[in-house]
Structures are given as structure tokens and as C-alpha cells.
Amino acid sequence: MKNVDLGNPDTYDEIYVVLDQESVVRAPGYEGDFLVYSFTADEARAMKTAGRRYSCGKSHFKKAPRHVIRLETFAD
């Protein structure tokens, strides 16, 4: 998909979006296996689409992620 469905912001205060390395909305240039972004309910409400849904696309993920998760494998 080229966008992320944010659900109904009337049911949460903050939503977290986790993007893996294969996500098409993930901006290039960030290291890590997963990038974690957060949006407040008010930020999500501002992303209302014509179809009465709340979603965001690639442009919303150009900002720095809130967290970067790196997975490490350990040899026995």
C-alpha cells in the first residue's frame, strides 16, 4: 500500500506506526530494521481523506522517526 490507515482518532490519544525495511512509505536514509512514528489524535484528524477515512502517505514519514529499532542476531 502507498498509505497507512490511521483508524478512528476519536478512539485514541496517540497512534504509533511501525515501518519495516520493506515499507513503500518509508523514507530512505534511516538505518534500522523498524522505524516508529507517532501521531496525536489531532494530527491524525488533520489527515482526513475525501472518503472520510484517516490515512497518511510517504510525505508524512520524511520527518525523523520517534524510535529506531535495530535487531541483532547473536551467534551461539
Q: Are 60 and 27 in contact (CB under 8 A)?
A: no
Helix (H) or strand (E) holding 40: strand 34-40
- The helix/strand/coil state of 6 is coil
Q: Are 33 and 71 in contact (CB under 8 A)?
A: yes
Prediction pTM value? 0.86
- For residue 60, which amino acid is it? H
User: What φ, ψ does residue 56 adopt, rounded to 5°?
Assistant: -140, 155
| Predicted confidence pLDDT, tens digits, the chain (76 residues) | 789 999 999 999 999 999 999 999 998 888 899 999 999 999 999 999 888 899 999 999 989 999 999 998 877 6
